[in-house]
C-alpha cells in the first residue's frame, strides 16, 4: 500500500487511522457468541474469499520469489523457459559484492533521514494545528490535504519541473537570494542533490498524514488532564511532556512504523525522478532489485535481492511488529 | 504576558509559510499548464498566468493513446476497488461480529498482508504472469491491485462495522429480520461513509500504482496513466506546459475525490450511528 501510498503510496489512509486510533469498540464482537455458534462454519465461509485471495495472490509471489532466488535465470533461461537451480550462488554473488552493502547502507540512511524529518515536522505541524484559530486551521488543513492527495507520479513530475535546470523556479529563487552559482544548477547531477529533491518530495507528501492525524488525536485528549496538570503547577512545557506526549505515544509509534515501511519501499519517487541516477548512486533497495533483476535481466539475482530486501525490512520493523502482535493478542 | 502579541503572531505566521509551501507545487502545476510556452520558459517566472491558453491540455489529450490509457486506468481502478470491497465486506463482518477459532491469527495475517512489499516482489509477479501468458493484459493488474487494497479494506471496514452499535442489529432481528436482512437493512446504510473512505484509499492505490504496470505491460495500448505520465516528459522533451497539463489531468480526479470524500468519510460515521 505504498502509495502510500502510500503511496502508498504513500497515500490516503484517513479512515484507517480514524478507525483505529480512537479504538472503536472492537470488543463488541465478544458477546456475539450465540448467533455465530449456531452456524459455526459461517465465519469461515465469509472469510474464505479473502483468505484464498491472500494465499494465492500474496503467498504465491512470495514463494515464487524465494524459488527464483535459487535459480540461474538470465535472458537465455527466460526465453527457453529453462529452470536451472544454482543453490545459493545468487546470494553468494549479492552478499560478497560491495554494491549490495552500499545500497543497504544508503537505503537505511535514506529511510532514517526521511522518517525523522517527516515525524519531526509532522508532529510540530500537528501541534500547531491545535493552536491555530479556526480560519487559519482550516486554511492550513486544506493546504495539507492538497499535498496529501497529489498522486505520486504527478507530484514527482511537478518536482522535476520545480527543480529543472533551466527555467526551474527553485533555481531562479536561489539566484535571486544571492546564491548565483545555483542559477543553472543541475539538481540531478550529483547523488546528494538528487537525494535532496527526492527527500523534499517524500517529506512534503508524507507530512500531511502525520500532521492531520496527530491533530485529530490531540482533539481527543480529555481537557481534565490539562486542568489537573495546571493545578499541580505544571507550565506549558511540563503539561506537554506529562499529558500530550504520553497520550500521543502509541500514535507516534505506529505512525513512525508505517512511515518507515512506506519510505523504505518507496519506488516511484526514486525511480521516476532520475531512474536511480546519476551513475546508479541513488538506487535504494527496491530500485536496485528492479535495475539488477529486470533492467539488467538477472532475474535470479534480482529475486535474491528482493528476498534480502524483505529481510532487511523485517529486521528494521521487528521491534514494532512484535509490539503490535502482542497488543493485538491483548485486545482480542 | 509572553503569549499576548508574540504568542498570537508566530503560529499564524508559521501557518502562512506552511500553507504556501504545501500548496505551491500543486499551484505551480496548474499555473504552468495554463501558461503560454513563452511565459513558461522565461528568464523571470510568471507567477500568475495572465495569458491563459488551453493548448497544452489539447496537446496532452491529443497525445497518442491518451484516451485508451484513461479507459485502462479507470477500468483497472474501478474494478479492483469493487472486487476488494465485495470480498472485504464478508471478511470484515465475520471479524467484527463473530467469534471463532483462529480469528486473532487472521487479523494478524491481514495486518501483515497490509505491509506486503509489492515493490520488491515485481520479479516474481512478472514470472508468474509471464508463465500464464498474461503479459500486456489488464487482468493481472486488476487482480493484483485488488489484492493490494484488500487487507486495508478488510481492517478498515472491520473498524467501521464494529463501531455500529450491536443493539441496532439485534433489535432488527427481534423485529423478525434474518441476520442477512439485518445486515443489509441496518448496518449497510450506516456503512456508507466507511465504504467511501475505504474505496477512496483503494482508488488512490490503484490509480497510482506504478512498479507493476512498469514491468508487466510493455504494450502502450495496455498501460495506465502513471506509466504514461512518467514517460511523458521524455517523449515531449522539455515541454513543461504539456507535461504539467498531463499531470493536472491525472491528479484532478484524485484531488476532487479526496476533498469530497475525506470530510464525508470522517463526519459521516458518527452522524450516522447517532441518528440511527
Q: In this predicted complex, what is the ipTM? A: 0.88
B218 contacts chain A (CB < 8 A): no
Query: pLDDT at position B275, please?
Result: 31
Where is pLDDT greater, at A195 or B4?
Answer: A195
H/E stretch holding A7 reads strand A6-9
Instruction: Decide if A46 touches B, using CB distance below 8 A.
Output: yes
Q: Over range A59-63, report the average pLDDT.
A: 96
Residues of chain A found within 8 Å of residue B223, distances taken between Cβ atoms: none
Interface of B with A in 76-95 (CB under 8 A): 87-88, 90-91, 93-95
Q: Enumerate residue ranges in chain B where pLDDT < 70.
A: 1-6, 262-276
Q: Which residues of chain A lie closer than 8 angstroms to B127, CB-CB?
A: 64, 68, 299
Q: Is A184 on the interface with B (CB under 8 A)?
A: no
Instruction: Inspect the interface and report whether the beta carbons of A164 and B247 lie closer than 8 Å.
Output: no
**Could you tell me which chain A residue has the CA closest to the CA of B44?**
A172
Q: CA-to-CA distance for A28 and A38, rounded, in angstroms?
A: 18
Interchain CB distance below 8 Å, B159 and A16: yes
A148 touches chain B (CB under 8 A): yes
Window from A145-149, A255-259, B175-179 with minimum mean pLDDT: B175-179
Is residue A247 within a helix (H) or strand (E), and if so which, with residue range? helix A245-265
Say which residues have a Cβ less than 8 Å from residue B20's Cβ, sequence separation at least 6: none
Which of A42, A147, A158 to mutate against chain B (most B CBs within 10 Å)? A158
- Residue B112 host element (H or E): helix B103-114
**Mean pLDDT computed over every residue of chain A:** 86
Q: Which residues of A touch B151 (CB under 8 A)?
A: 1, 54
Give me the pLDDT at residue B264, please: 60
Residue A8: pLDDT above 50?
no
| Digit-coded pLDDT (tens) for B160-207 | 898 888 888 888 888 888 888 888 888 888 888 888 888 888 998 999
DSSP chain B: -TTTTHHHHHHHHHHHHHHHHHHHHHHHHHHHHHS-HHHHS-SS--SS--S---HHHHHHHTSTTHHHHHHHHHHHHHHHHHHHHHHHHHHHHHHHH---TTHHHHHHHHHHHHT--GGG-HHHHHHHHHHTT-TT-HHHHHHHHHHHHHHHHHHHHHHHHHHS-HHHHHHHHHTT--HHHHIIIIIHHHHHHHHHHHHHHHHHHHHH--HHHHHH--SGGG--HHHHHHHHHHHTTT-HHHHHHHHHHHHHHHHHHHHHHHHHHHHHHHHHHHH-
pLDDT at A254: 86
Q: Has residue A172 got a pLDDT over 60? A: yes
Is the CB of residue B177 less than 8 Å away from at least one CB of chain A?
Answer: no
pLDDT for B1? 44
What residue of B is the nearest CA neighbor of A83? B127
Q: Which of B18, B32, B114 has the CB atom closest to A1's CB atom?
A: B114
A59 touches chain B (CB under 8 A): no
The whole-number pLDDT of residue B273 equals 32
The shortest C-alpha distance from A272 to chain B (Å) reads 6
Q: What is the pLDDT of residue A298?
A: 93
Are A269 and A283 in contact by the 8 Å Cβ rule? The answer is no
Residues of A in contact with B69 (CB under 8 A): none
Amino acid at each position: 500500500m505504498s502509495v502510500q501510498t502510500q503511496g502508498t503510496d504513500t497515500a490516503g489512509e484517513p479512515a484507517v487511522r480514524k478507525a483505529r486510533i480512537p479504538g472503536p469498540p472492537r470488543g463488541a464482537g465478544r458477546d456475539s457468541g450465540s448467533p455465530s455458534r449456531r452456524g459455526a462454519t459461517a465465519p469461515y465461509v465469509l472469510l474464505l474469499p479473502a483468505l484464498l485471495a491472500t494465499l494465492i495472490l500474496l503467498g504465491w509471489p512470495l514463494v515464487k520469489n524465494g524459488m527464483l532466488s535459487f535459480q540461474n535465470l538470465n535472458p537465455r533461461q527466460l526465453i527457453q523457459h529453462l529452470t536451472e537451480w544454482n543453490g545459493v550462488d545468487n546470494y553468494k554473488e549479492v552478499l560478497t559484492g560491495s554494491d549490495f552493502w552500499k545500497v543497504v547502507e544508503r537505503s537505511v540512511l535514506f529511510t532514517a533521514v526521511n522518517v525523522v524529518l517527516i515525524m519531526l515536522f509532522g508532529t510540530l505541524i500537528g501541534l500547531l494545528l491545535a493552536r491555530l484559530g479556526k480560519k487559519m486551521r482550516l486554511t492550513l488543513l486544506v493546504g495539507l490535504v492538497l499535498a496529501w492527495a497529489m498522486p505520486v507520479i504527478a507530484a514527482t513530475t511537478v518536482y522535476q519541473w520545480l527543480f529543472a535546470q533551466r527555467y526551474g523556479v527553485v533555481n531562479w529563487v536561489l539566484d535571486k537570494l544571492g546564491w548565483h552559482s545555483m542559477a543553472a544548477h543541475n539538481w540531478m547531477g550529483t547523488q546528494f542533490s538528487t537525494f535532496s529533491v527526492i527527500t523534499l518530495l517524500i517529506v512534503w507528501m508524507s507530512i500531511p498524514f502525520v500532521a492531520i492525524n496527530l491533530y485529530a488525536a490531540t482533539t481527543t485528549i480529555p481537557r481534565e488532564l490539562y486542568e489537573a496538570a495546571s493545578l499541580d503547577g505544571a507550565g506549558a512545557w511540563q503539561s506537554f511532556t506529562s499529558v500530550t506526549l504520553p497520550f500521543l505515544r502509541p500514535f507516534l509509534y505506529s505512525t513512525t512504523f508505517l512511515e518507515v515501511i512506506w519510505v523504505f519501499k518507496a519506488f516511484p519517487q526514486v525511480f521516476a525522478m532520475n531512474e536511480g541516477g546519476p551513475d546508479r548512486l541513488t538506487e535504494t533497495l527496491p530500485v536496485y532489485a528492479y535495475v539488477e533483476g529486470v533492467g539488467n535481466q538477472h532475474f535470479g539475482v534480482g529475486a535474491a535481492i528482493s528476498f534480502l530486501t524483505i529481510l532487511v525490512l523485517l529486521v528494521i520493523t521487528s521491534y514494532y511488529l512484535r509490539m503490535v502482535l502482542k497488543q493485538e493478542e491483548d485486545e482480542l | 504576558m509572553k503569549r499576548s502579541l508574540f504568542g498570537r503572531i508566530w503560529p499564524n505566521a508559521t501557518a502562512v509559510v506552511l500553507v504556501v509551501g504545501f500548496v505551491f507545487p500543486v499551484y505551480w502545476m496548474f499555473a504552468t499548464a495554463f501558461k503560454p510556452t513563452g511565459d513558461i520558459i522565461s528568464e523571470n517566472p510568471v507567477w500568475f498566468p495572465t495569458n491563459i491558453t488551453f493548448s497544452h491540455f489539447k496537446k496532452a489529450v491529443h497525445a497518442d493513446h491518451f484516451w485508451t490509457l484513461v479507459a485502462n486506468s479507470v477500468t483497472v481502478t474501478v474494478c479492483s476497488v469493487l472486487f476488494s470491497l465485495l470480498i472485504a465486506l464478508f471478511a470484515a463482518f465475520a471479524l467484527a461480529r463473530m467469534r471463532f477459532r483462529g480469528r486473532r491469527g487472521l487479523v494478524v495475517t491481514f495486518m501483515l498482508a497490509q505491509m506486503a512489499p509489492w515493490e520488491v516482489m515485481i520479479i516474481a509477479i512478472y514470472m508468474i504472469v509471464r508463465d500464464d501468458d498474461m503479459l500486456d493484459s489488464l487482468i493481472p493488474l486488476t487482480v493484483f491491485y485488488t489484492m493490494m487494497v484488500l487487507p486495508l479494506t478488510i481492517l478498515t471496514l472491520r473498524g467501521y462495522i464494529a463501531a455500529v452499535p450491536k443493539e441496532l442489529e439485534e433489535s432488527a432481528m427481534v423485529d423478525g429480520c434474518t441476520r442477512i436482512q439485518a445486515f443489509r437493512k441496518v448496518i449497510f446504510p450506516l456503512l456508507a461513509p466507511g465504504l467511501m473512505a475505504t474505496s477512496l484509499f483503494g482508488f488512490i492505490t490503484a490509480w497510482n500504482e506504478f512498479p507493476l504496470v512498469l514491468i508487466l505491460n510493455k504494450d502502450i495500448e495496455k498501460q495506465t496513466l502513471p506509466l504514461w505520465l512518467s514517460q511523458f516528459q521524455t517523449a515531449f522533451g522539455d515541454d513543461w506546459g504539456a507535461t504539467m497539463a498531463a499531470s493536472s489531468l491525472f491528479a484532478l480526479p484524485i484531488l476532487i475525490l479526496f476533498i469530497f470524500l475525506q470530510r464525508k468519510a470522517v463526519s459521516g460515521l458518527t452522524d450516522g450511528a447517532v441518528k440511527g
